[in-house]
Copies of this chain bind each other. A is one copy, B any other.
């Protein structure tokens, strides 16, 4: 069923109507609904698994997608648990960031409100359907979901369960809508639904995000790509450095906050490179190196110029020897994706310089880049990690799904 622009506008209009009532929903009602959604997922687990089985039967699903796509009773329970956790989080809507009296005597309050209608574009993971719906609903936003075609039946089953709960609780079920037509043409039209969609959040591969950035006319929050560096300074504790580099590279290599590059000050390179390279190889990591690294550890894979800008998402790391911290910072600012960067040092000035001058969402002294995460930050949830500077940067929790309005109380003031 191909959707026309008019179909999409209708869908956008329904989302807008739902968002207006949703914005006025009390926290108590929202939490009740989220808890009921969790229960409904558990109750309807068998239908969801049956729909998921239909997706998995599709012979066109690439083998590497199967694990992301596959649901089990445990995974459905994890989604339900996620809904309950979001119910337990503080609701940012209605909070007043600050309030003041202006010169004319007006009381001005900057109050948190929902963004309105959020468009989520994602790939094969059905859990994003539930996670994103929960976070958008808790923050009073209507959501329009466009998941990958591989997960269509799973997403349909999940959204049906969530919408039935909304209807049961007397709320507008169009607070959560799924685009059933997974064609690229319809996706492109969705990205241009200005006037209906307030922000698009793509989640998935670098290619997906680039497509959205190029095609969208609706504002986009860019997420995900992470070409993260660890710089081992001459004043580093080398044992700590090894733990941070190995953790950043091997603990979960496929994710965006994994460490992809290692920069080492030349003063410690000769002694330290053999140790750290061996430690990485012990974990199955392929080590690529620049000329200086090759001179010290001759059997590394020679790094090419493309390596410096590449996010491997794999057990590969590229190593470069730098002559100074300044060179390390300049290299990072040239090649990074503004995600997460770390220095290992015991030198106060070196650490502070690095934090101030490196251009990234998260800049660490003496810690693994893997900490860039809404849960690790204590936000209790995460809808993605922003790599842009506008609106939100770094891990995005509930607060980042809000905007604000100024509510102003007067007693007859007019402008002079």
Contacts and interface: CB of A to CB of B under 8 A. Distances in A.
A365 to B, nearest CB: 5
A389 B115 contact: yes
B412 A219 contact: no
Given A389-B403, A403-B389, A102 B376 contact: yes
Nearest to A389: B403
Contacts of A413: 366-368, 371
- Size band of the interface chain A makes with B: 35 or more
Is the contact region of chain A dominated by helix, strand, or loop, or is it mixed? mixed
A370 to B, nearest CB: 4
B214 A20 contact: no
A295 interface: no
A333 to B, nearest CB: 7
Nearest to A373: B415
Contacts of A106: 364, 367, 371
A102 B377 contact: yes
Contact of A357 (B24, B102, B367): B24
A405 B363 contact: yes
A393 B408 contact: no
A170 B106 CA distance: 44
B412 A367 contact: yes
Contacts of A410: 364-367, 371
Contact of A104 (B104, B333, B371): B371
Given A102-B376, A116-B389, A367-B106, A240 B355 contact: no
21 contacts: A102-B378, A104-B367, A108-B377, A214-B217, A240-B412, A243-B412, A244-B412, A247-B414, A351-B409, A356-B407, A362-B406, A362-B408, A363-B406, A363-B407, A364-B408, A364-B410, A366-B413, A367-B414, A371-B408, A371-B410, A377-B406
